[in-house]
Structure 1
Amino acid sequence: MTDTELVSPPQDGISSVVFSPTSNLLLVASWDKTCRLYDVDSNTLKFTFSHDAPVLDCAFLDDTTAFGAGIDKQLHKYDLTTGKSSVVGSHSEAIKCVECSIKHGVVITGSWDKTIKLWNLESLECVGEYAQPDKVYTMALADDRVIVGMAGRHVWVWNLNNMSAVEQRRESSVKFQTRCIRAMPDAQGYVLASIEGRVAVDYLDPSESSQKRKFAFKCHRSKENGRDVIYPVNAVAFHPTFGTFATGGCDGLVNVWDGVNRKRVYQFHEYPTSIASLSFNHDGSLLAIAASYTYEEGDKPHPPDAIFIRRITEENVKPKPRS
């Protein structure tokens, strides 16, 4: 099976790819100081939104409005019908993560300034600023909850229905730096990926019985010349129907995992360079794969940055029956 490569890719590292929650529009944030909007069905670049510095994350509200942010410390609002953008507000350091909650009427930003902020979707005013113990590296929305992954292996869980105090203070189940957290489609838990070729499956219910279900496993590792080579796991994406999840690593591989039965479902062919970001579309029929060198081995010649769209079959993502 072949992948489709998107036209007019970013000219520098890809930091995030995100599908619309309702269509096959795709946002791509990049170190080339742009966020690009693609129509994947027609393989066309619709708009390019410019920033003054690299863009680290982006999020759809719907098919008319989206948000992006990055090193310029500013939250930008994109009009996806006109291609125009405006600045909503800012943090004192780079903004690493953006999430939109239509249910709670807010945009959530997480920053290297060790805060998260909530912005009202109608007034676009900051309606809350909340201190975190360290730099925010990754965030995930799980219905009413925001899961914040930080430096120092901190994982804090906030409840958008009551932001007066943090709901849970956790520590990563793996020993090394957190790269990515993504919430399960049923909002019962999350998957955390780390730089040390390891992934943790965690549950939000603090009860002992629920916490017994959590586990971590090794992945994106290989044997080369008789020694173990460990690759950072940069990306996680859940399939919306089957609840399996894909991981992307610096080995250029995408694996699909069944977290319930604790086994790998599928491995795609090797991509030209590191997998920087992954996103399934709304019905799980497509997977956007950002093949983009993440400088884990320093500055060196590398393949050009590319976005591949893979058409997904049930064989790729459906859990296999227990043998």
Structure 2
Amino acid sequence: MNANSTQSKKLEIPINDAVSRIRFASHSNNLLISSWDSNLRLYDFDASVLRLEAPSQASLLDCCFQDDNDSVAFTAASDGFIRRYDLHSGIIDPVGSHDDMATCIGYSNETCLLITSGFDKKLLSWDVRMKKAFSLSKSLDAETDTMSVSGFLVTVGIGASVHVYDLRNFDKPILSMEPCNGTRLRCVSSIPYAEGFAVGSVDGRVALQVSNSSNSNDIGYTFRCHPRSKDGQHHLASVNDIAFSPLVSGAFVTGDDEGYATIWDARSRKRLVEFPRYSNSVASLSYNHSGQLLAVASSYTYQEAKEIEEPPQVFIHEVDNIDIGSSSARRKR
């Protein structure tokens, strides 16, 4: 199914360099946008207004809200610094820093810890309730490529490997594996309704790993979701981001380097919806808290030398009226 019929809106926000991350707030339709142009932006979708544009001293490589507090955000930056933003006043405070570029950031509402990683091969946790945020450090084997925080768990992608840590016991990972058989990973996303994760690889594959705590029947499988045909040849596009729908259980969306965003049924591994191709790569994806809106960042990603550097754009699609025709992907009641 093609999504030409869905309602969509392009945000009229000039963004001067690549978008690194977009994230909807957990209790509102406020959208956080971090960019390589060193600005953190807060867009209010309901009011159709840019609420905040806060300049920084370095390129912003990731961002997140303080989950239950939509008025506070954090960023990871190319100068290694982790910064806290008061989204009402625009005041920016440093939380601390990595010894090299800080690339990934996430907040655990269950532990009140901010989790960061970067090129210094360290995984850090910060207690941001403290006036001087205290950090615990975990040394990793290599630079972190991607990371996702959900509940008590943080899932880290390093090269072709995934490592899952329990924030209550940071000593060693509770799970380590290579879900795509040695292929480098591009993104990792925690499954919000289950203990598990999905990863996207540079060769167009998605792998899902779901742990079933009620029995020993863990579920794990891999499928190619972004092959393209060019001149009669099979071409594989890197999967840049994955986001799970809060509205439709078993549905998730992927975005690739060819500019396609596609909604899938996790159980049947079938394509449900494909959006019209964007002018740039799909760099980041985010559902709002109700699952009725999907934000798509169309931006070059600095991953491929052949990328066309058109101005980055952010689109928001109304997806609650899309007919999910799969027998296994169903709306949550």
- Give the TM-score of the pair, scaled to structure 2: 0.90
| CA displacement 1:187-236 (0-9 Å, x = unmatched) | 3211100111111111245999534x211111222111111121111011
Secondary structure of residue in 2 paired with 1:163: coil
1:108–1:118 Cα contact (<8 Å) kept:
yes
Confirm or deny: 8 A CA contact 1:142 1:187 kept in the other structure.
Answer: no
Aligned residues of 1:3 and 1:311 also touching (Cα < 8 A): yes
Of 147, 162, 166 in structure 2, the residue corresponding to residue 139 of structure 1 is: 147
In structure 2, relative to structure 1, the CA distance for the partners of 1:167 and 1:49 (3 Å cut) is: same
Which residue identity lines up with residue 64 of structure 1 in the other structure? S
Aligned mate of 2:296, from 289, 294, 307: 289
The structural deviation recorded for 1:40 is 1.4
Runs of at least 5 residues in structure 1 that lack an aligned partner in the other structure: none
Which residue is equivalent to 2:182? Answer: 175
CA distance in 2, matches of 1:73, 1:52: 11
- Structure 2 CA distance, aligned partners of 1:295 and 1:111? 17
Give the alignment of 1:66-81 within 5 angstroms: 66-81=73-88
Whether the 8 Å contact between 1:25 and 1:37 is mirrored in structure 2 is yes
The corresponding residue for 2:227 is 221
| Alignment partner of 1:242 is 2:236 | no
Instruction: Give CA-to-partner distance per residue, 1:92-148, whole Å, 9 cap, x none.
Output: 011111111121011000111111111102115233100111111111123211111
SS at match of 1:128: strand
* Structure 1 SS opposite 2:203: coil
Change (3 A) 1:206 1:112: farther
The aligned counterpart of 2:72 is 65
Change (3 A) 1:222 1:57: same
Partner amino acid for 1:222?
R
Q: Partner of 2:70: helix, strand, or coil? A: coil
Separation in 2 of the partners of 1:196 and 1:12?
A: 26
**Which of 34-43 and 200-209 deviates more?**
200-209
2:217 paired residue number: 210
Give the drift of 1:169.
2.2
Matched, 1:24 2:29: yes
Q: Aligned to 1:214, what secondary structure does the other structure show?
A: strand
**Which of 3, 8, 15 is residue 8 of structure 2 equivalent to?**
3
Alpha-carbon contact 2:291-2:320 (below 8 Å) kept: no
Counterpart residue identity of residue 148, structure 2: A
Q: Which amino acid is 2:11 matched to?
A: L
Gaps of 5+ in 2: 1-5, 329-333
In structure 2, what is the equivalent of residue 14 of structure 1? 19
The amino acid of 1:196's aligned partner reads D
Which AA in structure 2 matches 1:66? Answer: A
Do the aligned partners of 1:154 and 1:169 also contact (CA within 8 Å) in 2? Answer: yes
- The range that moved more, 38-47 or 68-77, is 38-47
Contact 1:7–1:44 (Cα < 8 Å) also in 2: no
Tell which deviates more after alignment, 106-115 or 291-300: 291-300
Q: Which has the higher contact order (CA 8 A, sep 6+)?
A: 2
Structure 1's 205 and 128: CA in aligned 2 closer, same or farther, altered over 3 A? farther
User: Relative to structure 1, is the Cα distance of residues 114 and 206 closer, same or farther in structure 2, using a 3 angstrom cutoff?
Assistant: farther
Identity of paired residues, percent?
33
Residue 222 of structure 2 aligns with an amino acid whose one-letter code is: A
Paired position in structure 1 for 2:270: 263
C-alpha RMSD of matched pairs (Å): 1.9
Query: Which stretch shifts more, 118-127 or 189-198?
Result: 118-127
Partner of 1:119: 126
Q: Structure 1: which amino acid aligns with 2:136?
A: G
Q: CA, structure 1 residues 77+37, in 2 after alignment: closer, same or farther (shift >3 Å)?
A: same
Task: Measure the CA separation in 2 of the matches of 1:21 and 1:307.
Answer: 19
Judge conservation of contact 1:234–1:277 (CA < 8 Å) in 2: yes
SS at match of 2:289: coil
| Structure 1 SS opposite 2:208 | strand
Question: Structure 2 vs 1, CA of residues 216 and 301 (structure 1 numbering), >3 Å: closer, same or farther?
Answer: closer
Query: Contact between 1:174 and 1:199, CA under 8 Å: does it hold in 2?
Result: no
Shift of 1:304: 1.5
Shift of 1:183: 0.9
- How far apart are residue 299 of structure 1 and its match? 6.0
